[in-house]
Every structure is written in C-alpha cells, then in structure tokens.
C-alpha cells in the first residue's frame, strides 16, 4: 500500500461562506510542493481525485477549481473532467496561445467553464483577447496587483466577468479592500490554509497496463478485454472506481466489467490507462527503455506480416515484454510466473524460440551492431536486409506519431 495526497483550499464569498475548493497537487503532508513536471502533477491530482479519494469526498456539492497544464487542456483527456463539477483554470505561460484559444472555444461550445489564473491586466488581456469574453472567472493575486490600476479597470474587468476572485488574501485589509471594489469571491490564508488530505491505495499493475494497451490497440473484442480485466482485479477496481466517480455523472453505480467497458469506450479507456501510467512516473516521452520496447514491438509486428502463421499482436507483445524486467525491476522469469502469459510469447522472450523469438534476436543483434550474425539470422528467417531496414524505419515513424498523441 502507498500513501497518496491531495490539497484543497476553500474559495469563499463575501459572507466568508465556502463557494468552491481549489484542488492542489501534493506529494506529502507538507503544505508546499516543488513541481518540476506540470503534466505529471496534473495527472496525479486527477487520478487521486477520481479514484483514490472520490470527488464527493473532496469537494462534496461545491465546485472544484483545477489548475491544468497546457498539454492537458490541449489533449483529449480534458473531456474526462466533468464540466458540471469543475472550473478549468488557465495558467499563464502557454507555448502556443493560438492553440489554447482554439481549444477553449471548442470546449465552451460543450459548456465547459474557465478561469484565468494570476491575471495581469495588460499582458493577460492582450494574450487572451479572442477568448476574453468566454472566460467565466478571473483570479487576481492581491500581492502582485497594482491596487490603483485595478480600481481604474474595474468597469472593464466587469465587462469581461462579474465573477472576480481575489486570491492570496492574507489580511482583513486585503479582504475589505477588494470586497469594496466589487470582488465576489476570495481565497487565501486569511480564510484558511490549504488542507492536505491523505489516503492509501494499491500501486497499479504495470504489466496489466501494458497488456491492456496492447489489446486495445489491436481492437480486440470486448469479450477479450473483459477477460483480461477479470484476470487483474486491482486494475478492474481502479476502472470501476473511476467510472463510479462524478466524472461520468452517473445516477446508478457500475456493477460489472462489461457494463464499464461499454460505458467508457475504447478511446477513453486508452486515455485512462495512459494517464494512469504517466501518473505513476513512467515518463513515456523521456524513457529510452519504453521507446526501445515499443519500437521492438512495432518492428516485430511489421516483420510478422511476412509469415502467415504468426499473429502480429503476439509479435507486438513480445517486443513490449522483452524489456519489461528493466521497467519493473524484476527478472522476466519471476514476472512470467505471476501472469498468465502464452507459452509461445514467453518462450520467444526468454529463450528466443520460434520465429518471433528469432526475429527478436535479430532486433537485439541490430542494436548491438553485430551485423554478420544479423545477416545470417535474417537469412534463416527468409527476410532480406532491405525488408528488415524498412520495418525499422516504419517503426521509428510510428513511434514519433505515438509520442505526438500522448
């Protein structure tokens, strides 16, 4: 079991009654954190909120404000967040404001609610002019705000939004000043410091995640996907907890795997699995081990097309599993004792047996630049060097497209 944390700080109205909670990434009971990777922090916060704590337990009937990284807002994953329960906070510092603006307009058509965080009048107004009238809330840091400038601009600010939030309010004088200006909501130490919530949960089954992604990418039947879930109760529990959260706004609880898969659909299921993987610190884009494994998988899949008696999905899985010992820090033999893996796949990975195993050997020889043995191995398979090189180039191109989407 592992400890998980999430921070929350109330946003109050002029009567100091709770209006909403801002949710914060935390990795311990300390009331501060250094975030080096915004995408990881975003993913971890959402996983913790939806699964490990439950939305109702964290924010109840109140709204939740979520700080989301730029990548997260621009991705499909954003639509996993229930629009009825959350306000999406847009942070400064986007590398592509134009792409953000386009995405926000698309999401506004779907009734998503947005807030501009750390609003600085001149810069923020200039950067976000095309969407400024689509913003629902504006948060202004009272420690950084020029009070004279804000007072002069209140008419213009109210034209943008009448839902102004003064944040980092630390004194009664701060509260009274911005309340007098017409701010409706307030947040800061004057009312309450962030509260750190703590829970325990199981570590995700990394092997199961990889197997499920492979199965989904091969468009396997729901029956096959269901059977794989049934073999991994920890991941099944996570999925059902996730769907039973407020993310889907369901009035009835999910009570079967089949029902869950039908509801979430393959595309969202893949997104969920990728979030889960990323949230547990497997940085796909920066991991050479992961990239080598998926390149091996794709190249074996492509090479398997030369043989009528080889299942290309099995070939892909062999490539993924060929480096699994490095990823999970356990010997392959020990891992295969714990999972129900096909003997053909296991023997190909462990002993380079069969055609898939021989192709895997060829890939490893290529990585070691052992070309004399490589040519002989390919000759025994009836595969030309030209075909081998072409499959390698195609697998690299496939990886680059994959990394663009995750």
- Give pLDDT, residue 297: 86
Q: What is the pLDDT of residue 311?
A: 85
- What's the CA gap between 290 and 351, in Å, rounded? 21
Token digits of residue 149: 């400038």
In this predicted structure, the answer to whether residue 139 has a pLDDT above a threshold of 70 is yes
pLDDT over 70 at 279, yes or no: no
3-state SS, residue 26: coil
Q: What is the mean pLDDT of the chain?
A: 78
Strand, coil or helix: 103: helix
Report the DSSP pairing between strands 2-13 and 18-25. antiparallel
| pLDDT in the model for residue 405 | 45
- Classify domain 2-199 by CATH number: 3.20.20.450
Which has the minimum average pLDDT: 80-89, 95-104, 184-193? 95-104
Q: 204 pLDDT band (50/70/90 cuts)?
A: low
Q: Average pLDDT of 375-383? A: 95
Indicate the range of 117-126, 248-257, 274-283 predicted with least confidence: 274-283
Tell me the average pLDDT across 187-197: 82
H or E segment and range at residue 346: helix 343-351
Dist. CA 231–CA 241, nearest whole Å: 17
pLDDT at 377: 96
Distance CA 68, CA 117 (A): 11
**What is the average per-residue pLDDT within 254-262?**
71
Q: Compute the distance between CA of residue 319 and CA of residue 164 in angstroms, rounded to an integer.
A: 53
Q: What is the pLDDT of residue 264?
A: 73
Nearest to 339 by CA among 228, 225, 223: 228
Please give the Cα distance from 49 to 23 (Å, whole number): 9
CB 157 within 8 A of CB 163: no
Question: What is the average pLDDT across 112-122?
Answer: 75
> Among 51-60, 70-79, 84-93, 253-262, where is mean pLDDT lowest?
253-262
Angstrom distance (rounded) from CA 204 to CA 393: 33
Query: Which has the higher per-residue pLDDT, 183 or 325?
Result: 183
To which residue do tokens 């929350």 refer? 8
Residue positions counted in the chain: 406
Phi, psi of 283 (to 5 degrees): -80, 95
Instruction: Looking at mean pLDDT, say which of 133-137, 256-260, 388-392 comes out highest.
Output: 388-392
Query: DSSP letters of 251-311?
Result: SS----HHHHHHHHHHHHHHHHHHHHHHHTT--GGG-HHHHHHHHHHHHHHHHGGG-TTS-
- Residue of higher predicted confidence among 304 and 79: 304
DSSP 203: P
pLDDT band of 202, cuts 50, 70, 90 = very low
Nearest-angstrom CA–CA distance, 24 and 32? 10
Going by pLDDT thresholds of 50, 70 and 90, the confidence category of residue 349 is: very high
Domain boundaries for CATH 3.20.20.450 within the chain: 2-199
The mean-pLDDT minimum among 21-25, 89-93, 174-178 falls in: 89-93
**Dist. CA 8–CA 31, nearest whole Å:** 10
pTM of the model: 0.53
Residue 71, pLDDT score: 74
* C-alpha pair distances (Å), 37 with each of 40, 336, 379: 5, 33, 47
Percent with pLDDT over 90 in the chain: 20
Q: Which of 119-128, 258-267, 341-350 has the lowest mean pLDDT?
A: 119-128
Name residues whose C-beta falls within 8 Å of residue 320's C-beta, 6 or more positions apart in sequence. 210, 214, 293, 294, 296, 297
pLDDT for the residue 338? 55
Q: Are 121 and 128 in contact (CB under 8 A)?
A: no
Q: In angstroms, what CA-CA distances link 105 with 46, 80, 102, 284?
A: 23, 17, 5, 29
pLDDT at 205 exceeding the cut of 70: no
User: How confident is residue 233, by pLDDT bands cut at 50, 70 and 90?
Assistant: low
* Cα 12 to Cα 20: distance, rounded to the nearest angstrom: 7
pLDDT of 292-346, one tens digit each? 877 898 899 999 999 999 988 788 778 877 887 775 566 888 767 655 567 888 8
Contact 326, 352 (CB under 8 A): no
pLDDT of residue 65: 94
Q: Is 6 left (phi over 0), alpha (psi -120 to 50) or beta?
A: beta
Residues 239 and 260: beta-carbon distance below 8 Å: yes
The pLDDT of 249-274, averaged and rounded, is: 68
């Amino acid at each position: 079991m592992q400890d998980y944390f999430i921070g929350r700080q109330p946003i109050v109205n002029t009567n100091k009654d709770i209006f909403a909670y801002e949710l914060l990434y935390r990795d311990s009971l300390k009331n501060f954190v250094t975030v080096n990777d915004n995408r990881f922090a975003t993913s971890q916060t959402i996983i913790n909120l939806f699964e490990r704590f439950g939305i109702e337990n964290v924010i109840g009937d109140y709204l939740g404000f979520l700080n989301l990284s730029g990548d997260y807002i621009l991705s499909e994953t954003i639509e996993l967040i229930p629009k009825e329960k959350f306000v999406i906070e847009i942070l400064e510092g986007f590398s592509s404001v134009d792409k953000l603006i386009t995405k926000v307009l698309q999401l506004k058509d779907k009734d998503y609610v947005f807030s501009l965080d750390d609003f600085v009048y001149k810069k923020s107004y200039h950067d976000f002019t095309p969407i400024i009238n689509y913003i629902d809330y504006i948060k202004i840091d009272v420690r950084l705000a020029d009070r004279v400038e804000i007072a002069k601009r209140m008419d213009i600010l109210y034209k943008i939004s009448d839902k102004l939030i003064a944040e980092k309010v630390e004194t009664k004088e701060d509260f009274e000043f911005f309340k007098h200006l017409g701010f409706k909501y307030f947040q800061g130490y004057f009312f309450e410091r962030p509260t750190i919530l703590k829970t325990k949960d199981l570590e995700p089954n990394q092997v199961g995640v990889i197997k499920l992604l492979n199965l989904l990418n091969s468009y396997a039947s729901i029956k096959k996907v269901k059977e794989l879930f049934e073999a991994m109760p920890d991941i099944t529990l996570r999925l059902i907890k996730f769907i039973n959260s407020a993310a889907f706004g369901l009035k009835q609880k999910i009570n079967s795997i089949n029902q869950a898969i039908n509801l979430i659909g393959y595309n969202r299921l893949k997104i969920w699995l990728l979030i889960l993987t990323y949230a547990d610190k497997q940085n796909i884009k920066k991991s050479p081990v992961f990239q080598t494994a998926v390149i091996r998988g794709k190249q074996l899949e492509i090479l398997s097309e030369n043989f009528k008696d080889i299942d290309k999905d099995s070939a892909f899985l062999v490539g993924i599993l060929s480096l699994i010992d490095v990823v999970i820090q356990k010997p392959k033999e020990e891992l295969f004792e714990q999972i129900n893996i096909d003997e053909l796949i296991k023997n190909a990975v462990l002993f380079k047996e069969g055609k898939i195993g021989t192709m895997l050997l060829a890939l490893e020889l290529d990585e070691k630049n052992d070309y004399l043995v490589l040519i002989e191995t390919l000759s025994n398979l009836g595969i030309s060097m030209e075909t081998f090189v072409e499959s390698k180039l195609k697998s690299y191109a496939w990886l680059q497209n994959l990394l663009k989407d995750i």
